[in-house]
Amino acid sequence: MKNFLSVEDVKDVQKLLKKAFKIKKNPFEHAHLGKNKTIGLVFMNPSTRTRLSTQRAANNLGLNVMVMNMDKEGWALETQEGIVMNQNTVEHIKDAAAVMGRYCEIIGIRSFPKLVDKQEDYSEDFFQKFIKYAKVPIVSLESATLHPLQSFADLITIEEYKTKERPKVVLSWAPHIKPLPQAVANSFSEWMQKADVDFIITHPQGYELDKKYTGATPVIHNQEKALKNADFIYVKNWSSYAEYGKVLSLDGGWMLTNEKLKITNNAKVMHCLPVRRNIELSDEVLDSEHSLVVEQAENRIYACQTVLKEILQKNF
Ligand code: SN0
């Protein structure tokens, strides 16, 4: 693996999954692989699970970790080419990325979309420039459009908890008070299409995701119909892609409740966290046996460790 930005960077998802289970069973098998090597984690936005699980994964491989909260402690970065920097940005990404590439063997980056200009966000300009100038492998810690380490952890979790060969997995939109990225939903859709599952998406009209990521996945606007016989329900809010970055619905009827779980196949409920309780998901579901949110979060370590190990071993 040169970079890990999307499921497209993975040659064989099933093989990678097997490697993740091996690592989970024996997390310190490669404790010296990262000796004398350093991973830098660059955050342009907040993070809890991604930050901690990546540090833990790196530690398990013997890597040194440097964390840069660029949004709070770094110089404001300019991304435009040829610009006269007489405004608020202090340093050009080409200079900052080039320097970080000399300090680190691997760099992880989190950079959310601004949710104003679709073209700008979906071009992944920030990541592309970092790759170009840092010249070391780049791992996405959530980009404007995708969150592959989350999706890989989600796949590991589904594999662990499935009770049949080919479970039904439903991505169900949930309400939220503010506009959120489409990244988690885009990414989950990409990974589910490479998994041995029956995958469908349910959301209100106007919340269609970019077809580039959902492909031929069926979309049902009636949530109740979609949830019928579901084995896994992945709950997530995202803002509109068509009316870019807008909140089109605040309909509380889309929140998952125990009542709605009755029509499922005793479904397990997933969410990447952080979750707005009693807006996206009810307490009764989150605090019940149905919830897998903590298990998912734990698997973030093994998803990340598998990817870092592959990069260190130059296995891609
Ligand atoms: C991010 C998102 O992409 O939806 C990160 C998820 C891993 N979530 C948020 O920004 C939640 C913010 C909030 O106010 O609830």
Q: How far apart are CA 60 and CA 28, in angstroms?
A: 6
Same fold, 7-146+300-315 and 150-296: yes
pLDDT of residue 226: 98
pLDDT at 231: 98
Which of these, 123, 138, 117, 157, lies nearest to 299 by C-alpha position?
157
What percentage of the chain reaches a pLDDT higher than 90? 98
Q: Which ligand 1 atom lies nearest to the CA of residue 178?
A: 14
Please state, in angstroms and rounded to a whole number, the distance separating the CA atoms of residues 153 and 173.
20
- CA atoms within a 13 Å half-sphere pointing along the CA-CB vector of 281: 25
Check whether 270 has a pLDDT greater than 70.
yes
What token pair was written down for 149?
Answer: 């380490």
Q: Which atom of ligand 1 is nearest to the CA of 236?
A: 4
- 38 backbone dihedrals φ, ψ, rounded to 5°: -130, 135
Residue type, 136: V
Q: Which atom of ligand 1 is nearest to the CA of 276?
A: 15
Tell whether the model's pLDDT for residue 315 goes beyond 80: no
> 38-61, pLDDT tens digit by residue?
999 999 999 999 999 999 999 999
Q: What is the distance in A from the centroid of ligand 1 to the CA of 145? A: 13
Q: Residue whose CA is closest, atom 3 of ligand 1?
A: 181
Question: How many CB atoms within 10 Å of residue 179?
Answer: 18
For residue 74, the model assigns a pLDDT of: 95
d(CA 249, CA 4): 33
pLDDT, position 3: 96
> Which residues make Cβ contacts (< 8 Å) with residue 281, sequence separation at least 6?
174, 235, 255, 256, 269, 271, 275
| CATH number of the structural domain 7-146+300-315 | 3.40.50.1370
Average pLDDT over residues 55-74: 97
Report residue 275's pLDDT band, with 50, 70 and 90 as the boundaries: very high
Q: Determine the pLDDT at residue 204.
A: 98
CB 183 near ligand 1, within 6 Å: yes
Domain ranges of the chain: 7-146+300-315, 150-296
Residues 6+ apart with CB under 8 A from 271: 234, 235, 236, 280, 281, 286, 293, 296
The verdict on the CB of residue 184 being under 6 Å from ligand 1 is: yes
Each residue of 210-241: pLDDT tens digit?
A: 999 999 999 999 999 999 999 999 999 999 99
Please determine, for residue 316, whether its predicted confidence score (pLDDT) is greater than 90.
no
Of the candidates 51, 32, 31, 53, the residue with the CA atom closest to the CA atom of residue 41: 51
What average pLDDT does the structure give for the chain?
97
- Asked if pLDDT for residue 308 goes beyond 90, the answer is yes
CB distance 178 to ligand 1 below 6 Å: yes
pTM for the structure as a whole: 0.97
Token pair in block for residue 195 = 């998994």
Q: Find out whether the beta carbon of 276 lies less than 6 Å from any atom of ligand 1.
A: yes
pLDDT score of 276? 97
The topology (CATH level 3) of 150-296 is Rossmann fold (3.40.50)
Q: Which atom of ligand 1 lies at the shortest distance from residue 180's CA?
A: 4
Which pLDDT tens digit goes with each residue over 169-210?
999 999 999 999 999 999 999 999 999 999 999 999 999 999
CA of 146 relative to ligand 1 center, distance in Å: 13
Does residue 1 surpass a pLDDT of 70?
A: no
CA–centroid distance, residue 31 to ligand 1 (Å): 32
